[in-house]
Chains A and B, each alone.
Chain A
Amino acid sequence: MSILSILSELVHNTIVFSTALIFAALGGVFSERSGVVNIALEGLMIVGAFTGAVITYYVDMSLGGSSWSPWIGFIVAAVVGILFSLFHAAASVTFKADQVVSGVALNFLAAGATVYLVKILFNGAGQTKTLQNVFTKVSIPFLSDIPYLGKAFFTAYPTSYIAFILVAVSYFVLFKTPFGLRLRSVGEHPRAADTMGINVYKMRYLGVMISGALASMGGATIALTTTSNFSHNTVSGQGFIALAAMIFGKWHPIGAMGAALFFGIAQALNSLVQVLGITKYIPVDFIFMLPYILTILVLAGVVGRAVAPASIGKPYEKGSR
């Protein structure tokens, strides 16, 4: 393989692996900016992957095979993600539960409930049937004709383009609109926000619900692009990597995207390293470890300190000091 085609392959795989992480990390940004810790990203991704796969399968069956079915699966996954995240919102905002514990419960619930439902729907099988119609790669005219790198950058799953567009949208919404200002203010200083007439509970519910939609879309992306089905290990820890990416990216959409791309490279390198036989020199387990070690180093301030929203994790009690 020539260097350029290796590079092209690497860039391409990085984008594929990063897409799901970008969705989920963006979701984390919305929730945590509103002051609600979201350990449940993993569970939300599982729910999204499950919903995406199952809905796509059934729509495909009833339409007799259609390239639209993954789109329907993807959108329904976002809606179900919102509904599922309401558990977290209700527990942590309304009932003032410990947000981390509630998130842990949601992760448990997602892992159990999805496999339970898959077994009911698919006659006891532990995974959904392989989907006939999933997202296919789209080439952007002209740009994708650039030798080597054009194909790497501009031939991708539609979900990747959506993810990158959503990064820009999130940035705009969070930092350039009144809604974003309100959302951030309830995460920093809910008391002050309340005084200004902002409904803290409502904003926090919205933050969690947006995160539910986005993380769930991230999960659906995995099922509808790379795995083409759903099983108990479709997501396997990517939600936690997304959580790390969000922190690595300092609770900022563009930072989160950068971190997700970085973790995507780590994953892309994995497969590349195995293909090229580099595992003789660097054990593959160490490459697996890399994102997690880096996250700790970032958090420990070795690579620049990350500061969380000030009121994160604290339930807001109206009228308390």
Chain B
Amino acid sequence: MNKWIKMFTKESSLIPLMAILLGLLFGALVMLMGGYNPIKAYLALFNKVFGDLYNFGETIRQITPLIFTGLSVAFAFRTGLFNIGAEGQFIMGSLGAVYIGTQFSLPWYIHAPLAIVVGGIMGGLWGAIAGYLKAKRGVHEVITTIMLNWIALFFTNYVVANFLRAPGQQRSEMIQPSASITLNWLSQVFDNARLHLGTLIALLAAIVFYIILWKTKQGYELRAVGFNPHASEYAGMNVSKNMINAMLIGGIFSGLGGAVEVLGVFKYQSISAGFPGYGFDGIAVALIGANTPLGVVLAAILFGILTFGAPGMKLGAGVPVEVIRIVIASVIFFVAASGIVKSIFSLFKRGKEEVLEK
């Protein structure tokens, strides 16, 4: 138990906690300025999420892809890379899954796993492109991943529109039932909320994340490269191979997220002008989760609750849902500029000391 308390009182977890608090406060301020009641709004948010079984189940559904993309971004971070490409890897993952799901007829015990694996590989390869370009060509991964996001979006639209399209619809055909990973019995318990096996896979992925990074030689190298690429190079590690691997594994996490979203929730891939957004939220999730697997899961839960509950604020207090984007943005901002949070800390500390001196 002590270990747990220590884990949450370390500075590394205090800063995200402070940032979340400040973010929520800032959101409240924005609501006040807009003439809304923030307490009523936040209560409505929690009421939406925890009010009934269906919405609670749907919140879990919302959390699932965030765990995947959060892990994806966090994994790259550990190697000193910034993966803004979770969005594209996610889309490529769903494309792979929807392709297998619609174009093949297989028994369920092969079909769904194959679709998931192909989705993961597609996402992984998409990430590896950025890793390769960084390692071999010195191209900054931030730019390539942003560009790859858009390419993935249009490429997926092209494939869906031309090869997988349901007649007269802006989406692909439905996947075969054998590729579905919906948990019917659980879904019924939760009033037909779209619960699926992907949530379990997400938690497993978090464990795999932990094992790879902290229990294997490869993971040691990845972390070493992230910590100090020059020293690692000197110690005989292959820095560029590690960069590619990090982006590959990170991409696999996102790809899996996209795959289970398609196979468990929507059952089709739509032709879309924009991104689903889970990849960008994954950046926030990873940052707030301090790039640890447990942190990512907790941050994803927080984000899932905030984003799923936002429409409740609209209903219960009339607050536009965008206010949650403002909260999320300010949380990232406070995590990024942890200097601000630290100076607020030291203000408190100084305050205390002054009191003591008196």
- B326: chain A residues at CB < 8 Å are 109, 112-113, 116
Complex contact A97–B133 (CB within 8 A): no
CA of A300 to CA of B130, assembled, Å: 10
Task: Say if the beta carbon of A101 comes within 8 Å of chain B.
Answer: yes
Complex contact A286–B82 (CB within 8 A): no
Task: Say if the beta carbon of A7 comes within 8 Å of chain B.
Answer: no
- A236: chain B residues at CB < 8 Å are 273-274
Task: Say if the beta carbon of A98 comes within 8 Å of chain B.
Answer: yes
Given the interface contacts A116-B320, A120-B34, does A109 sit within 8 Å of B329 by beta carbon?
yes
- B214: chain A residues at CB < 8 Å are none
- A106: chain B residues at CB < 8 Å are 329, 333
- B157: chain A residues at CB < 8 Å are 285
Task: Say if the beta carbon of A289 comes within 8 Å of chain B.
Answer: yes
Chain A interface mostly: helix
Complex contact A286–B329 (CB within 8 A): no
- A97: chain B residues at CB < 8 Å are 336-339
Complex contact B337–A301 (CB within 8 A): no
CA of A289 to CA of B340, assembled, Å: 39
Given the interface contacts A98-B336, A112-B324, A233-B273, does A299 sit within 8 Å of B139 by beta carbon?
yes
Complex contact A100–B339 (CB within 8 A): no
Stretch at the interface among B145-153, B204-212, B225-233, B246-254: B145-153
Complex contact B320–A289 (CB within 8 A): no
Complex contact A112–B150 (CB within 8 A): no
CA of A102 to CA of B142, assembled, Å: 13
Complex contact A296–B329 (CB within 8 A): no
CA of A40 to CA of B62, assembled, Å: 27
Task: Say if the beta carbon of A261 comes within 8 Å of chain B.
Answer: no
Interface string of B139-179 (1 = CB under 8 A from A): 11011101110110011011001100000000000000000
Task: Say if the beta carbon of B256 comes within 8 Å of chain A.
Answer: no
Stretch at the interface among B107-115, B280-288, B292-300, B345-353: B280-288
Complex contact B144–A296 (CB within 8 A): yes
Residues 101 to 149 of chain B near chain A (Cβ within 8 Å): 133, 137, 139-140, 142-144, 146-148
Complex contact A91–B162 (CB within 8 A): no
- B59: chain A residues at CB < 8 Å are none
- B328: chain A residues at CB < 8 Å are 108, 112
- A293: chain B residues at CB < 8 Å are 147, 151
Complex contact A108–B323 (CB within 8 A): no
CA of A98 to CA of B139, assembled, Å: 18
Task: Say if the beta carbon of B301 comes within 8 Å of chain A.
Answer: no
Residues 274 to 321 of chain A near chain B (Cβ within 8 Å): 283, 285-286, 288-289, 292-293, 295-296, 299-301, 308
CA of A116 to CA of B318, assembled, Å: 12
Please tell me the number of chain B residues within 8 Å of chain A, measured between CB atoms: 46
Complex contact B142–A105 (CB within 8 A): no
Task: Say if the beta carbon of B290 comes within 8 Å of chain A.
Answer: no
Complex contact A116–B158 (CB within 8 A): no
Interface string of B305-329 (1 = CB under 8 A from A): 0000000000000001011111011
Task: Say if the beta carbon of B100 comes within 8 Å of chain A.
Answer: no
Q: Could you say which of B133, B140, B147, B283 contacts A292, with CB atoms under 8 Å apart?
A: B147
Stretch at the interface among A63-71, A132-140, A239-247: A239-247
Given the interface contacts A109-B326, A116-B34, A283-B158, does A244 sit within 8 Å of B274 by beta carbon?
no
Complex contact B154–A286 (CB within 8 A): yes
CA of A111 to CA of B280, assembled, Å: 12
- A91: chain B residues at CB < 8 Å are 333, 336-337, 340
- B35: chain A residues at CB < 8 Å are 120
Shortest distance in angstroms between A117's beta carbon and chain B's nearest beta carbon?
8
Given the interface contacts A97-B338, A300-B133, does A105 sit within 8 Å of B332 by beta carbon?
yes
Task: Say if the beta carbon of A147 comes within 8 Å of chain B.
Answer: no
Complex contact B151–A115 (CB within 8 A): no
- A233: chain B residues at CB < 8 Å are 273-274
Task: Say if the beta carbon of B43 comes within 8 Å of chain A.
Answer: no
Complex contact B336–A102 (CB within 8 A): yes
Shortest distance in angstroms between B62's beta carbon and chain A's nearest beta carbon?
17
- A285: chain B residues at CB < 8 Å are 154-155, 157-158, 161
Complex contact A243–B337 (CB within 8 A): no
Complex contact B320–A109 (CB within 8 A): no
Shortest distance in angstroms between A140's beta carbon and chain B's nearest beta carbon?
36
- Taking CB as reference atom, which chain A residue is nearest B281? A108
Task: Say if the beta carbon of B18 comes within 8 Å of chain A.
Answer: no
- Taking CB as reference atom, which chain B residue is nearest A108? B329
- Taking CB as reference atom, which chain B residue is nearest A37? B142
Q: Could you say which of A37, A115, A237, A283 contacts B322, with CB atoms under 8 Å apart?
A: A115
CA of A95 to CA of B334, assembled, Å: 10
Closest 7 CB pairs between A and B?
A: A112-B325, A95-B339, A108-B329, A109-B329, A101-B336, A285-B158, A105-B333
Q: List 21 A-B contacts (CB under 8 A).
A: A94-B339, A95-B337, A95-B339, A97-B337, A109-B325, A112-B323, A112-B326, A112-B328, A113-B325, A115-B320, A116-B34, A116-B323, A124-B320, A233-B274, A237-B150, A244-B143, A285-B155, A288-B150, A292-B150, A296-B148, A300-B137
Q: B residues touching A (Cβ–Cβ < 8 Å)?
A: 30, 34-35, 82, 84, 133, 137, 139-140, 142-144, 146-148, 150-151, 154-155, 157-158, 161-162, 273-274, 280, 283-284, 287, 320, 322-326, 328-330, 332-333, 335-340
Taking A106-B333, A292-B148 as known contacts, 9 extra A-B pairs with beta carbons closer than 8 A to each other, sorted by chain A number, are A37-B142, A87-B333, A95-B338, A105-B336, A111-B322, A112-B326, A244-B143, A299-B144, A300-B137
Q: A residues touching B (Cβ–Cβ < 8 Å)?
A: 37, 39, 87, 90-91, 94-98, 100-102, 104-106, 108-109, 111-113, 115-116, 119-120, 124, 233, 236-237, 240, 243-244, 247, 283, 285-286, 288-289, 292-293, 295-296, 299-301, 308
